[in-house]
Amino acid sequence: MPTFNNPPPVPQDSTLSYPAPHILLVTLNRPKGLNCIDSQGHADLHEVWEWLDSEPSLRVGILTGTGRAFCAGADLKEWNKNTNSGNTRRTQPASGFGGLSRRKGRKPVLAAVNGLCFGGGSEMVINCDMVIASSRAVFGLPEVKRGVVALAGALTRIVRTVGKQRAMEMALTGRNISVEEAERWGLVNEIVSVPAGATEEENSKKVVERAVAVAGLIAANSPDAVLVSREGIKLGWESVGADEATTMLNETWVRRLYEGENIKEGLNAFVEKRKPVWKDSKL
């Protein structure tokens, strides 16, 4: 295990691993429950993503699932129990479902969608930075079929990714969206083809391997430049005007970028015709 400034969290229903330098892999591990997430799971995952942001040696996170599901959404048994007891308060952190659906964060998180991705699972994916999906993946916001609503951040974000009509189709019909549709709509970056006879383990391994390769491309770049570039795209995606977003980015981040060590290293490496050796970001 790599050496960290602070020990990693120990989530109850997820496992943490480090498949490549600077990369954190978080695997949801409630396969019998299709990796649905309960109150403790939300709190645990919020802590994991906070830890990712705080550890200088980590640059990219990946989320995936065990078994045939990425995440089937909320723990409806827990939700039903709370509703019947008169407790209608949602027990999620400010960062939303799985600590991701409303996460601001500093570092990129990729989704490696190995299978079923419904409800809160889709809400997390919608706010991830990139989505690598198995050819077995299926997406959906089926909340309306259960008399509830996708309130963890998906509704206001999905319209910016797929457009009004498609967002309405997902939210109002609650139907399943195939991985091919999701890619065509812009929700999925890349589909990993998995043979029909592959086991669940082989399927998950293949999609995670591809996600790790993509995360490696990100981790190989200047950590400072990645953070600032991500911030700029987020500002635009969150419906801030283009000029206003550029001004905010320059006033908040660019000066710190220019004062850092990595910009000097990147330029020197180019001039000297060598591979840059990045320092952990101090932004």
The candidate with the shortest Cα–Cα distance to 260, out of 216, 217, 224, 212, is 224
The candidate with the shortest Cα–Cα distance to 281, out of 223, 219, 216, is 223
Which residue do the tokens 């723990």 mark? Answer: 75
Of the candidates 74, 111, 133, 152, the residue annotated as catalytic is 74
β-bridge partners, 133: 113, 191
184 with 252, same domain: the answer is: no
The answer to whether 174 and 142 are in contact (CB under 8 A) is yes
| 108 domain residue, yes or no | yes
Whether pTM > 0.85 for this model: the answer is yes
| 165 domain residue, yes or no | yes
Read off φ and ψ for residue 74, nearest 5 degrees: -75, 160
- What type of residue is 174? G
Q: pLDDT (tens digit, 0 to 9) for every residue of the chain, 283 residues total?
A: 788 999 999 999 999 999 999 999 999 999 999 999 999 999 999 999 999 999 999 999 999 999 999 999 988 777 666 666 665 555 789 999 999 999 999 999 999 999 999 999 999 999 999 999 999 999 999 999 888 889 888 998 999 999 999 999 999 999 999 999 999 999 999 999 999 899 999 999 999 999 999 999 999 999 999 999 999 999 888 867 767 767 877 778 777 888 889 888 888 888 899 989 998 888 8
- How buried is residue 40: exposed, middle or buried, by Cβ count under 10 Å (0-12/13-18/19+)? middle
- The C-alpha angle with vertex 238 and arms to 257 and 104, in degrees rounded to 5, equals 60
Specify the number of domains making up the chain: 2
CATH of the domain at 160: 3.90.226.10
**23-28 and 14-20 strand pairing:** antiparallel
201 with 260, same domain: the answer is: no
- What type of residue is 230? R
pLDDT tens, position by position, 88-126: 555 789 999 999 999 999 999 999 999 999 999 999 999
User: Rounded to an integer, what distance in angstroms lies between the CA atom of residue 283 and that of residue 23?
Assistant: 18
Question: Is-catalytic flag, 143?
Answer: yes
Question: Is-catalytic flag, 74?
Answer: yes
Non-local (6+) Cβ contacts of 247 within 8 A are: none
CA within 13 Å, CB half, 141: 26
User: Rounded to an integer, what distance in angstroms lies between the CA atom of residue 255 and that of residue 259?
Assistant: 6
The answer to whether 220 and 22 are in contact (CB under 8 A) is no
Of the candidates 120, 121, 153, 260, the residue annotated as catalytic is 120
β-bridge partners, 61: 24, 109
240 with 129, same domain: the answer is: no
188 with 262, same domain: the answer is: no
30 with 167, same domain: the answer is: yes
Structural domain including 261 reads 223-271
Of the candidates 65, 67, 123, 167, the residue annotated as catalytic is 123
Structure tokens of 35?
Answer: 């990796």
215 with 234, same domain: the answer is: no
pLDDT tens, position by position, 132-141: 999 999 999 9
Task: Please tell me whether residue 37 adopts helix, strand or coil conformation.
Answer: strand
